[in-house]
Every structure is written in structure tokens, then in C-alpha cells.
Amino acid sequence: MEEIPMGRIEEIIFFFPPEKKKPPEKNHMRYLFMFFLPVLATGVFIGTATSSYQIEGMLPGRTIWDVYTDQHGLESVGNATMHYLRFREDLGLMARMNVRAYRMSLSWTRIMPSRNGEVDTAGLRFYHDVLDECRRLGIAVYATLYHWDLPAYLDEGENRGWLDPGIVGWFLGYAQRVFEEFDSKVAAWFTINEPLTTSAQGYGTTCGFAPGRCSRENMLVSAHYQLLAHAAVARYYLGHYPNGRIGMVLNSNWFEPLDGSDDARKWSEKRLAETYGWFMDPLFFGQYPEILRDETAGLGLVFSEEQKAALMGSSTLIAVNHYTTYYVDANGEGSVDRAWDRSQAPWLFDAPIGMERLLRHIGERYSSTLPVYVTEFGVCALRDGPVDLGRVHYLSGYIDRALAVHRERVVNLVGLFVWSFLDNFEWASGYSQTYGLVGIDRGHGLARDPRLSYSFLQDLIHRLSDGSV
């Protein structure tokens, strides 16, 4: 068993722990179909999610991911699922699934494809068409400004992407234009998706994501500027749209103590602090968690009083992506339970206990009153296909645990977004991992093939809406 050194944040985002047999503490009631789920879910909706780069295709400019996949010989995005031309078909499928809330992202590159900052009217028109179609179908849109697809021109020449202090102003300028154009058609805004993954994987020493400018220092610097960019955009937005809703989408695994020892508990808390707390603490307390404070200060990454105030006033909601859980022992080593179902991704296991624990942690440490959205949860099921029982099992367990916490009123849970509505481009993994409720047949004209999980959620959403669950 390999120990993961403390502070190596980039290695514990998607670390691949060995299996360790651990008897389950309790039956978590993971129903294949939730016909007997004994919770009243009033006020919680179930929606679905996608991101622009992963599904749209036909971009007018290049992103850092186009550059990265070319440089590293990885599968390229191509035209993805051709959602750009088939969005009405896709949204129609979504409406037939009874979805009334959809999380999507806007492409910075589609809206501002060249370094002169001029806006592409065709890009604006496309998103107006998508938002108008959603409104026609009765689907509320929750929009993400940035989901990893940084325009390549912001990471070329003198520009250094998220390592560049200028990124705060560039992101603010882009966001201002987007708000001006689309705010009236969007239910809530998310500024940046998973800054943890961008910093740890794209700028950290494991170096598995774009842009691949990787070092420990770069990891911490890129995180700092993502936080400042979020704060600047949120301050502008709330100043101009005071009744709006805005937040940053953070992701977190759950780290469960392997046993009842104090050391296992302390190590689990450290793992959570240096991943989720790395970003959540600045947003709510105005400073980095203690475990990172000396290192960030040594690099000059200290928030001014004005920046602290901006960060602490930047969230009118909490948005979290959660996929999996790891056990942590008294030596800080990670493991998983052999009973947990595997997936196509070596880091992702079906462990719904983490959904309950993480939501409870949010309510107890950060806020029990702010609206909370689980903005992504989902699985690339190991034996995927039209009858995707593994995905149904995963979704039912995670939804069950989320609604159980909601029932206790520990946290103000409002909505759950399943990742992903469509099979899509999964970054460095290309098209090898399938997360979709709707399969994409890449060998037959990108045909849309709804899976069993689509029907499962179609029925569940209907029963949640009419009060029968």
C-alpha cells in the first residue's frame, strides 16, 4: 500500500487506492428502483448537466484542450456530439425525461474566439436559441461561465492562463458581456467549475490535464487567481443584479476514517481540508485552511482585506460536485471497500455514504441556510449499455443519501444535477468513458440512445413532482 504524502494535493484528487476489505457499517438502502423510498423530497429537484466543450462541437476558435490533446497525442474532441446542430433534439429528450432544471456551460471561446476580445454574434445567437428553447420546454437553466475550456490565446505568448494576474480582468470582461446578454434567461450562475481539478491536474505535478504548466507553485498560484477571478465576477454581478444567484462549483471526494482511531479521523480531516477546504474556506472565512496557510503565504498568496471581503460576500449559494469516497487509515493511506462497485474510471467507486457525509459537513461547517446544489454526480458504469443497471444502482444510492440529509434539515438542499445527460468527451480520456443517461452511438451518426437510467429518472422525477415519493 502506497502512502500519499501530506500536501500532495494533486495526487489525492484522483488517486487510485488499493482495495481493503472493510465490513459495511450499515445498510445504506441502495434501491435498484426507489418505489419504496421512505423520504418526502419536497423542494428538491433532480436535473441533469452537460458542459459546452464536451458536447457542442463546431467551435470557431481553439481552446487549451485543443492544444493539449494535439501536443500529447490524445484523442481530440472533434465535433463532440454535434449538440451545436442538434440541441433541439437533445433538449426535447431532456423534456421527455421530465427534467425541469438543466446545468449547462457557455463557451468563452465561442463567445470571444479571438484575442482582440470581439464578441462573435453567431455564438451569442446560438446560446440565445438554446436558452429560448429551454424556456419553451419549461426547463430552468443553471449556467456555468467557465468549464475548463480556456481560449488558447489566453495561454499563448505573454499570456499565461490561470497563472497570469491579468486573468482576473479577462474573466471579468467576458462575464460582464455574458450577464448583459443572458441574465434574464438564467436561473442561477456558476462562475468556475472545479478549480481544484484545474489547479491539481492542469497545473499540479501529476500534470494530466490542460494546459500542462505543472509545478507545485503553479498549482497554488492558479488556485489563487481562480478564487480572485470568481470574487471579482461575483462582486460585479451582485452589484448590478442584486437579486441574482451566483456561486463557484467546487468538487470533493469524501474521506472516511477507516476505523475509529483519532489518527484516522485526523488524517481524513486533513485530506478534506487540503482539497475541499482549499477553496471553500476562502469563500466563507476569507483565508486558506491552516494546513496550506504557511505554504501559500511563502509564495505571497495572501488575500488583502478587500479581497477577503469580496470572497466572503461572493456566494449566494453553494454548489458541489461529488462522485466518490475513499477510506483513510491512521497512517494517512487511502483504500476502498471491495464491496463498492467499480467503474470505467480507476478512481471512481459507487460509495453513496460520501454523499451523505459531505452534505452534512457543508451544513455543519459552512452554512445550513444557503441553498445547496449538488451540481454533478454520476458514473461511467463498468458494464455500460442500454440496460445500465450499474448507473441506476449508483444514482439511486446517491439520491437516497442526499434526500435523507435533506429530510433532517442539516443542509438546505435544493437540487441535484446528474452527470451527464449525454455521453461526451471526457477530457484526457477522450470518448473511452461513458457517463450519459443518453448514449451516443459514434459508429452510427451520433444517434441518441436513451438508457435504462434515463427511464429510471424519468419515472422518479415524475413521482417526486407529484408527491408520490
Give the DSSP H or E segment for 267: helix 262-273
Give the DSSP H or E segment for 92: helix 83-96
Q: What is the DSSP string of 191-249?
A: EEE-HHHIIIIISSTT--STT----HHHHHHHHHHHHHHHHHHHHHHHHH-TT--EEEE
Active site residue 194: yes
Q: Are 152 and 211 in contact (CB under 8 A)?
A: no
| Residue among 10, 56, 194, 333 flagged as catalytic | 194
Q: Which residue from 454, 416, 408, 456 is spatially nearest to 435, judged by alpha carbons? A: 454
The three grid cell numbers given for residue 198, joined into one nine-digit string: 484545474
Active site residue 376: yes
Q: What is the DSSP string of 114-170?
A: STT----HHHHHHHHHHHHHHHHHT-EEEEEEESS--BGGGGSTT--GGGSTTHHHH
Cross-strand pairs, 257? 328
Give the DSSP H or E segment for 400: helix 389-408
- Provide the Cα torsion 258, 338, 354, 289; round to 10°: 50
| Residue among 10, 256, 376, 426 flagged as catalytic | 376
Rg of the chain over Cα atoms, rounded to whole angstroms, equals 21
Catalytic residue set: 194, 376
